[in-house]
Amino acid sequence: MNPHTPLKLASIAFAVLWTAWMIWSSGVFDVANIAVLTACGALAGWLWFLGMRWFFRRIGRLPSA
């Protein structure tokens, strides 16, 4: 198994949960709002992946690329 696979799955879960929370907490269920929050959730998941990959490499939990 690739050492990045659990990190990728966790970042997908983070993005889905973050997006669902933001849609639910906004209280506005328009198509435009859902589309914008979905794009922001994808960006948040990607940034979370990059941040955690950097951190885990720094502490020696992931091999260098």
10: its two tokens: 């966790």
Among residues 26, 5, 7, the alpha carbon closest in space to that of 15 is found at 7
Q: Is residue 58 scored above 70 in pLDDT?
A: yes
Helix (H, G, I), strand (E, B) or coil at 5: helix
Burial zone of 45 (CB within 10 Å; 0-12 exposed, 13-18 middle, 19+ buried) = buried
pLDDT in tens, 19-49: 999 999 999 999 999 999 999 999 999 999 9
Q: Which amino acid is at 20?
A: A
pLDDT of amino acid 33: 97
What DSSP character marks residue 60? T
